[in-house]
Amino acid sequence: MTTTAISESATRAQVAEAIRGRQRFVIASHVRPDGDAIGSQLAMACALRALGKDVRVVNRDRAPEPLLPFPGVADIEIAERVDDPGDAVIVMESGALARTGVEGLERGFVINIDHHLGNTMYGALNWFDLSAAACGEMVFDLIQELGVPLTPEIATHVYVAILTDTGSFHYSSISPRTFEICRQCMEAGVDPPAVARAIYDSGNLGKLRILGAVLNGMELDESGRLATLWIDRTLAAACGGTYDDTEGLNNLPLTVKEIQATVFFKEQAPGDWRVSLRSKGDVDVNAVATQYGGGGHKNASGCSASGDLQGLKHEFAVKVLEQIEIAGSRQ
Ligand code: 5GP
């Protein structure tokens, strides 16, 4: 066993100990929560309730539409402030406390559970595991440490976390442990085809039209290795959809063999853009996102950027192509 593994399991044991000794919990995650955020929060909430704890799950933004049918999602509190942080605040998937977008959490005993590069270690307890393909993997281990049986509901939340945060098992973050956890989740009652249908095949016509419009506006760089996409609210509304309907869209160009990375710009306000980056293999888009104060993982990261779209497209293209070159030179 490596030193990292020893300290990692020691930290997990400390987190379990802190949980056992406390009664009232707030579980938070990041703004615009994704499948890993929601799955990790709800798996943890179920486990804590099984131990007789009082739990509130709080996010600043509501869950993406495809996750709404999953148990417990509709009960997540949407708030910008928490007045009572309980005995402990468990923050999932957030590199910095500010990324929760929820005020008041800092007044509690914060347990920081995350698998992202660059976590700022803002908690009273910080459990950080870069080797986890999803925060859901860490939650799975913690639930085992707490001795809570893997119910079908907990297993489903863990599986949703892993399925979505690995881009449906595409990213290089997956490991044998990922499949071992999924195996146990399936044995506990998860129905992978049903979960996949709920998440990926339950869209609406607006989503399909957005897909067509955004892909129609796709630009390829001269070398054909980088695809750039964009959307603004006018285009989304004209298609009869919303930004929720763009989930997963930036993975599609990567189905083309030659395309190594995608940059997807979503306008938030005039001149304000959310930027979602995706890549294959060794191409490190996180190295680009962090230059803009964002973060994430090597193959999937995000940030915000301001400016005119043409200028930003060029700026990001230069930086991402640089990463494609670096990855190419390593082969
Ligand atoms: P997405 O492109 O789907 O919004 O995010 C991809 C990954 O990057 C997710 O793991 C997400 O948590 C992370 N991410 C996205 N935006 C930001 C950001 O602004 N800051 C940080 N630290 N991580 C981000």
Ligand 1 atom nearest the C-alpha of 32 is: 4
In angstroms, the CA 187 to CA 56 distance is: 28
Task: Output the residue whose Cα is nearest ligand 1's atom 13.
Answer: 296
Please give the distance, rounded to the nearest whole angstrom, from the Cα atom of residue 116 to the centre of ligand 1: 9
Pocket of ligand 1 (CB under 6 A): 30, 34, 95, 99, 276, 294-297, 300-303
**CATH of region 8-199:** 3.90.1640.10
CA distance linking residue 222 with residue 321, whole number of Å: 11
Contact 230, 243 (CB under 8 A): no
| C-alpha–C-alpha distance, residues 139 and 136, integer Å | 5
pLDDT, mean of each 10-residue run, the chain (331 residues)? 61 97 98 97 98 98 94 97 98 96 98 92 95 97 98 98 95 95 98 96 92 97 97 96 90 96 97 97 97 94 97 98 93 71
Query: How far away, in angstroms, is 206 Cα from ligand 1 center?
Result: 24
pTM for the full predicted model: 0.85
Q: What spacing in Å lies between the alpha carbon of 276 and ligand 1's midpoint?
A: 7
Q: Please check whether residue 303 is in contact with residue 263, taking contact to mean a CB–CB distance below 8 angstroms.
A: no
Contact 286, 261 (CB under 8 A): no
* The pLDDT of residue 2: 43
CA of 157 relative to ligand 1 center, distance in Å = 20
Distance 187 CA to ligand 1 centre (A): 31
pLDDT of residue 3: 41
β-strand partners of 229 = 264
Could you state, in order of their start, the residue ranges of all structural domains in the chain? 8-199, 205-330
The class that CATH gives domain 205-330 is: alpha beta
The rounded distance, in Å, linking the Cα atoms of 311 and 331 is: 31
Same fold, 8-199 and 205-330: no
Give CA 100 to chain center in angstroms. Answer: 12
Contact 11/119 with Cβ under 8 angstroms? no
d(CA 216, CA 240): 16
Q: Rounded to an integer, what distance in angstroms lies between the CA atom of residue 172 and that of residue 322?
A: 20
